[in-house]
Amino acid sequence: MAVLLASFIATAIAATSAAGADQPANPAQSAPASANQPKIQVLDPVYDFGTVLSGPPVKHTFKVKNVGGGELIIDHVQTSCGCTAAEPSKKRLKAGEQAEIAVTFDTRYQKGHSERTITVFSNDPRKPDLAMTIKGQLAVEIETRPEEVFFSKVRLGTEETRQVTVTYLGKGKDFKIDKISNSSPNIKVTQAALKDRKPGAILTVTKLKSMPVGPFDDSIEIATNRQPILVHVSGRVVGDIAVEPAQVSFGIVPRGQSALRILRLTNSGARAVRITEISSSSHSIAAKVDPVTPGKEYKITVELRKGTPDGQIRGGLSIKTDDPQEPQLSVPFYGIVGAFQG
């Protein structure tokens, strides 16, 4: 009896093993692609240009191939910021054909490790967007310290200066600055030689008295016989009149409800200031002014009206005064009515 039972078990195991041998371990993975479908493939998807000087463009040509059976159609090519791609040499590729895509990476104003992505969109059903990468290290030939100029809060009618040191780190001996320019008439930039007489310059950046109240942004463009340099300048001019907080946030307001926020306008100057008008860029936001100490302090009540439709609220208040130096102040506001939609 035991011999018959052992024989039966051995036969069953052999039959199960034979049946399993006819089936793939994972049918979804082993299913072959249709012979009539296109299939895109990039030859060398990553181009590492090593270490080069920042400034001159880096150029490379990627090659893509149709390794499928159907016709491959390239719809378009998209690149990340600072990179451009020419049209593919061919947009319709039969089986076995390949196309070239010339890419140019603008390295101006870049330094350190840099990486850009080039994406090819095609009719390949399995990989409709194919990514390629161009990367490397960008060494600077010219250094600026600091890299940005920030003036923080500067009083209205005053003049302040900052200095930027431009240093040439290259090996050439003919470095020179050709031109320095900026767009704001209220920012003045002057140039002087480095104290050690080495190639480079000291730039004196002056915020002039004429700069009006509020935030400001400017860019100093330095043209050289090597690479261009860009130095960002920013800051804020404040006067005797201050509004706190500087912006109004309603957060997320439930549907159909209203919301109130309070602003405080103060005048630290000797001259009394009167608010002549206050208006809102949105019909959903109303504002009312109440004097706390006439001429010196005002309470501004900002209301998001009840029944405002769902969605984002974004705009600003305009506060007009009789102060000749600060006739108008702006206060941005924002919020969301109803459920947040990401």
- CATH, range 40-139: 2.60.40.10
Read off the pLDDT of residues 91-135 as tens digits, 9 standing for 90 and up. 999 999 999 999 999 998 888 999 999 999 999 999 999 999 999
Enter the DSSP assignment of 81: T
Mean pLDDT, the chain, whole residue set: 88
Q: Examine the pLDDT at 27 and tell me if it is beyond 50.
A: no
Q: What is the pLDDT of residues 154-211, one digit of tens each?
A: 999 999 999 999 999 888 788 999 999 999 999 999 999 998 888 899 999 999 999 9
pLDDT of residue 5: 43
**Options 2.60.40.10, 2.40.50.100, 1.10.10.60, 3.40.50.720; CATH of 142-238:** 2.60.40.10
Structure tokens of 240?
A: 């005797």
d(CA 5, CA 20): 23
Pairing of strands 297-304, 285-293: antiparallel
DSSP readout, 147-211?
SEEEEEEEETT--EEEEEEEEE-SS-S---EEEEE-S-TTEEEEEE--TT--SEEEEEEEE-TTP
Cβ-proximal residues to 32 (8 Å cutoff; 6+ apart), any chain: none
Q: Where are the domains of the chain?
A: 40-139, 142-238, 241-337
pLDDT tier at 215, thresholds 50, 70, 90? confident
Could you tell me the pLDDT band of residue 315, with boundaries at 50, 70 and 90? very high
In whole angstroms, what is the distance from residue 93 CA to residue 66 CA?
A: 6
